[in-house]
């Protein structure tokens, strides 16, 4: 399979290498069945990376939105930004969170808004849905389902409590599960289901009559169709020992899901008052193999928060990218100075940028929510330069070799940053005239710099043959490699 671009959000494209054991004459003896008698040996590292680390890059705040009525997720659909949210009794504030738990419900509507620039939003469309016996709406999300029939292409997901006597067979099955596959927040008195409404166009919605799973996913949910797995995947909130975790479930068809299992929880080197509050799942635009989470971590002691960056190859095993938080509350007095929340997904955002929406407020998270407190919450954008979420970094000198890659083009372009006293050099293993020592050194701040060897940009390898790149860095940051 040809590769056009490598992002460095984890170690997947960097060889770990090995040590070769050699005699004084240069003979290589392997670990099994060396000849007798034993002789002195010396170690020679081969393709072992050294002197490098991964470094998450901080986002830049890019201003507040105007007229936004959603709850944190924005997608880019049909050359415009779109989002959806619930109104209860004509009020969006009653559609999610602690204030949503009203017992008197006269109407429930799904609203949609659009924007060309991500800042100025249209008047909402409203489509009432019939949801008898439901209340306490929360945990909303939406997605465009490429696996569904056209009549159900758009899906709106939410959590709600339902009345006693409803969906009893599902409750019975749920309570018969092993304890590790249940959530303590569901009981005979508290019944939570995950519900969906479907639409062919994102304007006219119809509620499905029963929950597709039982789970109390308040505040945060992500649902998508995974083309590689050929199944639906959900990332959602869990509670363990009173702390918020991030869990995952799968479904071969939308109405039958596995139990939710944990994938991310507070680290043991975190303070014990931290929760993983929002998952912020965001595959990288146009490169879905690079799966990211941009989770919000809640600090209970101060009721403030921070946003981190996580990476995964398979969407199941996740690691935090080093480098600290990528987004924090603003300075005191700014609109986001006390508490921020993660939006999703990463979207193209103007020339050579990507961004996520995020929420902010001047009040701590659990401050009593009088109407002015709720109204103080706003949405903004947090952006990065394209491909610059994470870097392979060295403060002094480092080097690494990539896994074998079948390039999609004859030139290599780098996205990197290096001061005048630093540099980046690129070699192609085993190709004459294309070693790192033949490379014309690269310095400066470039998003798309062509690599040359003694002035020649062609990689000089046969078509259809994989290559291994050797990259040498001095006081530099490397963000991506592109083949053209």
Give tens-digit pLDDT for 326-367: 999 999 999 999 999 998 889 999 889 999 999 999 999 999
Domain assignment of residue 41, yes or no = no
Helical segments of 237-375, H only: 371-375
State the pLDDT at residue 434: 98
Contact by Cβ (8 Å): 340, 328: yes
Per-residue pLDDT tens digits for 147-160: 999 999 999 999 99
Kindly report whether the peptide bond that precedes residue 37 is cis, defined as omega within 30 degrees of 0. Answer: yes
pLDDT grade for 371, boundaries at 50, 70 and 90: confident
Dist CA 105 CA 426 (whole Å): 64
Q: Which residues partner with 257 through β-bridges? A: 251
- The yes-or-no verdict on residue 68 having pLDDT over 90 is no
> How far apart (Å, rounded) are the C-alpha atoms in residues 134 and 107?
11
- Do residues 107 and 131 share a domain? yes
Residues 425 and 367 in one domain: no
Domain boundary among 330, 352, 385: 385
Residue 193 has pLDDT above 80, yes or no: yes
**Where are the extended beta strands (E) located within 191-230?**
192-199, 206-207, 221-226
Q: What is the pLDDT of residue 385?
A: 97
Residue ending a domain, among 385, 407, 422, is: 385
Q: What is the pLDDT of residues 26-43, one digit of tens each?
A: 999 999 989 899 999 999
Q: Give 404-434 pLDDT, tens digit per residue.
A: 999 999 999 999 999 999 999 999 999 999 9
* 97 pLDDT more than 90: no
338 and 403 together in one domain: no
Last residue in a domain, options 342, 361, 385: 385
pLDDT at 100: 66
384 neighbors 346 (Cβ within 8 angstroms) = no
Please check whether residue 259 is in contact with residue 177, taking contact to mean a CB–CB distance below 8 angstroms: yes
Identify which has the larger pLDDT, 427 or 100: 427
Helices (H), 155-307: 168-175
Residue 91, pLDDT score: 82
What is the predicted pLDDT for the residue at 454?
A: 97
- Among 388, 306, 289, CA closest to 341: 306
Structural domain containing residue 327: 60-385
Residue with tokens 């308040």: 218
What is the per-residue pLDDT across 263-284, written as a single tens digit (0 to 9) for each?
999 999 999 999 999 999 999 9
CA angle in degrees (0–180, nearest 5) for 111-117-122:
30
**Is residue 304 one of the residues assigned to a domain?**
yes
Residue 162 lies in a domain: yes
* Cα–Cα nearest to 363, from 341, 336, 338: 338
Q: For residue 260, which phi and psi values (nearest 5 degrees)?
A: -80, 130
Confidence of residue 374 (pLDDT cuts 50, 70, 90): confident
- What CATH code is carried by the domain that includes residue 421? 2.60.120.260
Number of domains in the chain: 2
Q: pLDDT per residue over 43-62, tens digit each? A: 999 999 999 999 999 999 99
What does the alpha-carbon distance between residue 57 and residue 392 come to, in Å, rounded to a whole number?
11
Phi first, then psi: what are they for 41, rounded to 5°?
-130, 155
Confidence of residue 90 (pLDDT cuts 50, 70, 90): confident
The verdict on 378 and 456 lying in the same domain is no
Shared-domain flag, residues 366 and 438:
no
Mean predicted lDDT score pLDDT of the chain: 94
**40, part of any domain:** no
In a domain, 25, yes or no: no
Q: Is residue 36 a part of any domain in this protein?
A: no
**One domain, residues 339 and 292:** yes
Which residue, among 160, 157, 127, has the nearest Cα to 143 in the 3D structure?
157
The whole-model pTM stands at 0.94
Indicate whether 367 and 430 sit together in one domain: no
CA 208/CA 197 separation, integer angstroms: 6
Reply yes or no on whether the pLDDT at 107 is more than 90.
Answer: yes
What is the pLDDT at residue 67?
85
The per-residue pLDDT for range 285-307, each reduced to its tens digit, is 999 999 999 999 999 999 999 99
Q: Are residues 350 and 371 in the same domain?
A: yes
**Token pair of 337, please?**
């100075």
Which pairing describes strands 53-56 and 390-401: parallel, antiparallel, or unpaired? antiparallel
Structure tokens at 237: 């909130």
| Distance, CA of 276 to CA of 449 (rounded, Å) | 38
């Amino acid at each position: 399979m040809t590769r056009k671009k490598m992002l460095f959000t984890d170690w997947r494209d960097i060889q770990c290498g090995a040590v070769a054991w050699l005699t004084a004459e240069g003979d290589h003896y392997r670990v099994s069945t060396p000849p007798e008698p034993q002789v002195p040996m010396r170690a020679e590292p081969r393709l072992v990376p050294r002197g490098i680390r991964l470094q998450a890059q901080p986002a830049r705040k890019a201003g507040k939105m105007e007229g936004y009525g959603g709850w944190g997720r924005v997608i880019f659909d049909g050359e415009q930004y779109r989002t959806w949210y619930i109104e209860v009794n004509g009020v969006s504030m009653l559609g999610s969170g602690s204030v949503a738990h009203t017992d008197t419900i006269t109407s429930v509507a799904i609203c949609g808004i659009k924007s060309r620039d991500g800042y100025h939003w249209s008047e909402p469309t409203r489509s009432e849905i019939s949801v008898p016996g439901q209340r306490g709406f929360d945990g909303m999300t939406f997605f465009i389902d490429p696996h569904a029939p056209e009549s159900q292409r758009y899906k709106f997901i939410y959590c709600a409590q339902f009345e006693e006597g409803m969906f009893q067979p599902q409750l019975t099955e749920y309570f018969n599960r092993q304890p590790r596959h249940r959530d303590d927040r569901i009981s005979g008195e508290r019944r939570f289901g995950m519900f969906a409404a479907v639409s062919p166009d994102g304007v006219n919605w119809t509620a499905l009559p029963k929950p597709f799973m039982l789970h109390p996913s308040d505040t945060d949910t992500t649902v998508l169709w995974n083309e590689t797995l050929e199944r639906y995947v959900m990332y959602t909130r869990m509670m363990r020992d009173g702390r918020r975790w991030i869990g995952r479930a799968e479904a071969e068809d939308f109405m039958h899901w596995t139990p939710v299992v944990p994938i991310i929880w507070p680290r043991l080197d975190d303070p014990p008052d931290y929760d993983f509050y929002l998952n912020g799942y965001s595959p990288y635009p146009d490169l879905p193999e690079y799966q990211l989470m941009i989770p919000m971590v809640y600090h209970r002691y101060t009721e403030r928060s921070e946003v981190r960056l996580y990476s995964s190859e398979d969407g199941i095993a996740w690691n935090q990218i080093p480098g600290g938080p990528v987004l924090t509350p603003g300075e005191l007095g700014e609109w986001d100075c006390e508490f921020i929340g993660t939006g999703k997904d990463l979207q193209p955002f103007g020339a050579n940028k990507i961004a996520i929406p995020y929420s902010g407020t001047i009040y701590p998270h659990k401050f009593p929510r009088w109407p002015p407190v709720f109204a103080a919450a706003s949405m903004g954008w947090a952006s990065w330069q394209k491909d610059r979420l994470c870097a392979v970094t060295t403060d002094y000198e480092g080097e690494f070799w990539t896994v074998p890659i079948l390039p999609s083009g004859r030139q290599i372009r780098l996205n990197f940053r290096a001061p005048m006293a630093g540099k980046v050099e690129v070699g192609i293993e085993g190709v004459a005239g294309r070693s790192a020592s033949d490379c014309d050194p690269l310095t400066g701040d470039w998003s798309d710099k062509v690599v040359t060897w003694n002035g020649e940009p062609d990689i000089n390898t046969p078509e259809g043959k994989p290559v291994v790149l050797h990259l040498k860095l001095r006081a530099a940051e490397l963000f991506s490699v592109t083949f053209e």
